[in-house]
Amino acid sequence: MEKKQFQAESKRLLEMMINSIYTQKEIFLRELISNSSDAIDKLYYRALTDEAISFDQDRYAIHISANKEARTLTLTDTGIGMTKDELETNLGTIAKSGSLGFKKTNEMKDGHDIIGQFGVGFYAAFMVADQVSVVSKSVDADSAYRWQSDGSDGYTIEEATKDVPGTDITLHIKENTEDESFDEFLDEHRLKSIVKKYSDFIRYPIKMDVTTYKPKEDGEEGETEEVQEEQIINSMVPIWRKNKSELTKEDYEQFYQDKRYGFDKPLEHIHLSVDGAVRYNSILFIPESTPFDYYSKEYEKGLELYANGVLIMEKCADLLPDFFSFVKGMVDSEDLSLNISREMLQHDRQLKLIAKNIQSKIKSQLQSLLKNNREAYETFYKSFGRQLKFGVYNEFGAHKKVLEDLLLFHSSTEKGFVTLSEYVSRMKEDQSNIYYATGESIERIAKLPQTELVADKGYEILYFTEDVDEFAIKMLQSYQDKEFQSVSSADLKLDEDESEESKEELDANKDLFEEMKTILAGKVKDVRLSKRLKTHPVILAAEGEVTIEMEKVLQAMPDNQHVKAEKVLEINPNHDVFKALQSAKDTDQEKLKLYTNLLYSQALLIEGLPLEDPVEFTKDMCKVMV
Ligand code: ADP
Ligand code: MG
C-alpha cells in the first residue's frame, strides 16, 4: 500500500506539538471526545436541513473501551463520519480544520455550534499512541475507509468495512519507557476520571464498559464475580445550562463544593446566561472567607473556561481583573474555539468581551449586596476589602471609578462601616472636604489630638487602620468632587479667616518659633502655632504629598526609599507648656533647647514614630525632674 507523506509543515508542527504544546498528555482524550461530539453535532445539524437524514437522539453516543492485553483504546462515535477525501484532508493536513470549513459554509442556526477551530486536536493522540487507526464511514458515502498512521512519517488509507455511519478511532498506546508510563491510559478508573474532569458536560452520552462485582449466580454466600457493565460516565447537562428557576441555593453550594472552589460556603452566586454579542453561561461565586494563601504570591486567580461544554482551561486569569481575584467559578461559551494555548486566548476578542461583561456583573452584584444585605456585604468586605483598596491604588488608579462605591471605612460618628456616599450625604453645610485620620486602631485614632478641631466642628472623620488605606485614598483624590483631607496635614483647609488675635499671637512669637526651628534643624520644616489643638501641647503635621502614616508604611518596606514626610511642629498656644517656652526663651537658652527637644520627642511618640535617640530623650526627661 502506498504511504502518503504528511505535508512538510504538518510534520514539523506535529513534532512540535507532541513535544511542547500540550504539557498534560491526558488531554488527548478530551480532544478526541470533542471531535466525536462535533461529529454528532454536524449530523444533528444536517438532519435539521436534510430530510433524508434522521436524527434519533437515543442512538447518538460516544463509546470508549480499553483493552489492556492489546494495549488499545478505542473511541467510537455515531457522528457524521468522513469520506475518503475527508480523511485525507482532515487528518492528513495538520493545520486544516474541518470544523472551521464547516462553519464557514454553513450559517449556524439554533445556537448550535461546532467546537474547535484549530486543526491540531486530533494529533494529540500521538502523545500517547504509537499508532492510530481511524475507520470512518460518512453519511454521504457507501463505503468505509481506514486511515492509519504512526504519527511520524505519514499515513495510509484503504477501504474498510463498517455498517453504520460514524467513526472508530483506535489508539495503540505506547509502551512504558524509563521515565514515562502510559499504562494509565488503559486503566478504567483513570480514563473515567479524565472524562469526568474534561468532558463531563458533553451533550451526548459517553459510555464505557466498567468492571463491577456482582453476587455470583448460584455461588456461595458472599461470592462475587466480575462483570462488564456499560455505564454513562458523563453527566451531560451541566448546572450552568439549567434554568435558574430550577435551581436552589443548595444546588449552587453543592456545585461550589464539588468543584472545590473553596472550603467555605459561598456568600453569593451569580448565574449568567448571556445571549448577546457573545454568548456564554457562567456561574460565579463570591466566597465568604479569605483563602489562606489569598494575600500571597502563591494565590492564582482565574475562572474555569469551557468551550461548549469542554474544559479548556482550569484557571483562565484573563477572565478576572486583579481587584476581583477572589471570585470563583466558570464560564462556558459556544463562541470560543477549543483553543490550544494561553497566548492565543489572551488575544481572543470573544474572551475579552466576556471578561468585560463579567466584571460589570460582579460589580453590580456587589453593589446590590451592599444595598440590600449590608451584613453580608460587610462580611465580604472584611475578607476582601483590602483587595478592593489595592485595586483602587494599583495601575495608577486606572480602576478607581469602578471601585470607589464599594469601599467601606470606619468613622468617628458611626458604629459600623460607612460608605463614601453615606459620608458625603452627612457632610455639614460649611464642610468642603472629606476628613480622615490614620492610625493603628480605631481606639487609637479616636484619641489622636489631630482630630480634635475637625471633630469639634461636627465633621465626621474616616478612620484608616490599614496601611493600604491612605495610599488608595491618595489615588482617589476626591469623591463626588470632595477632596480627601488628612486631619494631620499642615493645612486643614477649614476655610477660616485668620482671626486678628491669632495674627497678633503669631507676630509676637515669631522669634520663639525661629529659635525652635533652629534647634530642630533637619528634623522639622517649620514650627508654628496650632489652630487645631485643644488639650494637647504639641503635634506633628505633614506638608506636601507624603503624610506621616505613609512615611511609616514606606519605612517598613524592604526596599525602603527613605522617603520622609515634611513635618511641621505645631504648638498649642493655650497650653501652659507654651508659657514655659516663652519664658525659657527670654531667660534660659539651654532650657529652651531642652523643652523644644522634649516636645518634639513627645510629638514623635504621639504619631507612633520611633524616637531618634531614646537615650538622649531619657536624659532630657531626668534633667526636667531634678
Ligand atoms: P478540529 O477539531 O479543531 O477541527 P482536529 O484535529 O481535532 O481539529 O480534527 C480535524 C478534523 O478531523 C475535524 O475538523 C473533523 O473534520 C475531522 N474529524 C476528527 N475526528 C472526527 C470524528 N470523530 N468524526 C468526524 N470527523 C472527525
Ligand atoms: Mg478537534
Buried/exposed code over 485-505 (b: 16+ C-beta within 10 A; e: otherwise)? bbbbbbebebeeeeeeeeeee
How confident is the model at residue 518, as a pLDDT? 94
Q: Which atom of ligand 1 is nearest to the CA of 337?
A: 3
134, 200: one domain: yes
408, 329: one domain: no
Q: Are 563 and 542 in contact (CB under 8 A)?
A: no
- Pick from 99, 76, 74, 73: nearest CA to 86: 99
Closest ligand to C-alpha of residue 37 is: 1
Please give all residues whose beta carbon lies within 6 A of any atom in ligand 1, as ranges.
31, 35-36, 38-39, 77, 79-82, 90-91, 97-99, 116-122, 167
Closest ligand to C-alpha of residue 101 is: 1
In eight-state DSSP terms, residue 594 is: H
- Which mutation among 13, 27, 38 tests ligand 1's pocket best, with the greatest number of atoms within 8 A of CB? 38
Which residues have their alpha-adjacent CB atom under 5 A from ion ligand 2?
35, 116, 121
CA distance 90 to 145: 13
136, 214: one domain: yes
Q: Which atom of ligand 1 is nearest to the CA of 123?
A: 6
Q: Measured in angstroms, how far is the CA atom of residue 177 from the centroid of ligand 1?
A: 29
In eight-state DSSP terms, residue 106 is: S
Q: Measured in angstroms, how far is the CA atom of residue 364 from the centroid of ligand 2?
A: 37
346, 471: one domain: no
515, 600: one domain: yes
Q: Which residues, in sequence order, are bridge partners of residue 137?
A: 166
Confirm whether 304 is domain-assigned.
yes
Q: Which atom of ligand 1 is nearest to the CA of 116?
A: 3
In eight-state DSSP terms, residue 17 is: I
31, 164: one domain: yes
Buried/exposed code over 445-472 (b: 16+ C-beta within 10 A; e: otherwise)? beebbbbbbbbeeebbbbbbbebbbbbb
197, 75: one domain: yes
How confident is the model at residue 118, as a pLDDT? 38
Q: Are 43 and 163 in contact (CB under 8 A)?
A: no
CA distance 620 to 512: 20
Q: Measured in angstroms, how far is the CA atom of residue 210 from the centroid of ligand 2?
A: 26
508, 448: one domain: no
Q: Measured in angstroms, how far is the CA atom of residue 34 from the centroid of ligand 2?
A: 6
How confident is the model at residue 103, as a pLDDT? 41
Residue 84, SS3? Answer: helix
* CATH number of 565's domain: 1.20.120.790
Confirm whether 383 is domain-assigned.
no
Length of the chain: 626
332, 261: one domain: yes
Give the H/E segment covering residue 163: none
The grid coordinates of residue 324 equal 476581583
- Which mutation among 99, 102, 133, 308 tests ligand 1's pocket best, with the greatest number of atoms within 8 A of CB? 99
Closest ligand to C-alpha of residue 91 is: 1
3-state SS string over 221-266?
A: CCCEEEEEEEEECCCCCCHHHCCHHHCCHHHHHHHHHHCCCCCCCE
Confirm whether 46 is domain-assigned.
yes
Confirm whether 13 is domain-assigned.
yes
- The pair phi, psi for residue 27, each rounded to 5°, is -75, -5
* CATH number of 62's domain: 3.30.565.10
Give residue 73's Cα distance to chain centre: 38
CB within 8 Å of 267: residues ≥ 6 apart: 285, 286, 287, 288, 376, 379, 380
Closest ligand to C-alpha of residue 103 is: 1
Give residue 293's Cα distance to chain centre: 13
Confirm whether 227 is domain-assigned.
yes
Q: Measured in angstroms, how far is the CA atom of residue 38 from the centroid of ligand 2?
A: 8
Q: Are 473 and 389 in contact (CB under 8 A)?
A: no
Single out the residue in 372, 399, 417 at which a domain terminates: 372
Confirm whether 141 is domain-assigned.
yes
CA distance 23 to 311: 15
Q: Measured in angstroms, how far is the CA atom of residue 413 from the centroid of ligand 2?
A: 62
Q: Which atom of ligand 1 is nearest to the CA of 97?
A: 4
In eight-state DSSP terms, residue 324 is: G
CA distance 125 to 22: 11
Q: HSE of 81 in the Cβ direction (CA atoms, 13 Å)?
A: 21
The alpha-carbon radius of gyration of the chain (Å, integer) is 36
Hey, what amino acid is at 58?
D
The grid coordinates of residue 480 equal 463626588
Confirm whether 357 is domain-assigned.
yes
21, 124: one domain: yes
Crossing angle between the packed helical segments 510-519 and 576-587, to the nearest 10 degrees: 80
Single out the residue in 338, 372, 406 at which a domain terminates: 372
Could you tell me the residue range of the domain that residue 581 belongs to? 503-544+556-625
**Burial degree of 531 (CB within 10 A; 0-12, 13-18, 19+):** middle
- Which mutation among 122, 127, 169 tests ligand 1's pocket best, with the greatest number of atoms within 8 A of CB? 122
* CATH number of 340's domain: 3.30.230.80
Q: Measured in angstroms, how far is the CA atom of residue 199 from the centroid of ligand 2?
A: 13
Domains in the chain, number: 4
Full-prediction pTM beyond 0.75? no
CB within 8 Å of 112: residues ≥ 6 apart: 41, 44, 45
Sheet holding 310-316, edge to edge: 266-275, 279-287, 328-333, 303-307, 310-316
What DSSP letter does each residue of 13-27 carry, written as one string?
HHHHIIIII-S-TTH
Confirm whether 178 is domain-assigned.
yes
- The pair phi, psi for residue 321, each rounded to 5°, is -70, 155
Hey, what amino acid is at 301?
K
Residues of the chain with pLDDT under 70: 6-23, 93-120, 338-346, 495-503, 506, 560-561
49, 117: one domain: yes
Euclidean distance between the first and the last CA atom of the chain, given in angstroms as a whole number: 113
CA distance 548 to 436: 13
298, 198: one domain: no
Q: Are 170 and 74 in contact (CB under 8 A)?
A: yes
How confident is the model at residue 199, as a pLDDT? 87
Ligand 1, atom 12, residue with closest C-alpha? 90
* CATH number of 402's domain: 3.40.50.11260
Residue 411, SS3? Answer: strand
Single out the residue in 308, 343, 372 at which a domain terminates: 372
- Which mutation among 35, 36, 102 tests ligand 1's pocket best, with the greatest number of atoms within 8 A of CB? 35
Residue 131, SS3? Answer: strand
Q: Measured in angstroms, how far is the CA atom of residue 122 from the centroid of ligand 1?
A: 6
Q: What angle do CA 370, 374, 380 make, to 5 degrees?
A: 75
Give residue 52's Cα distance to chain centre: 50
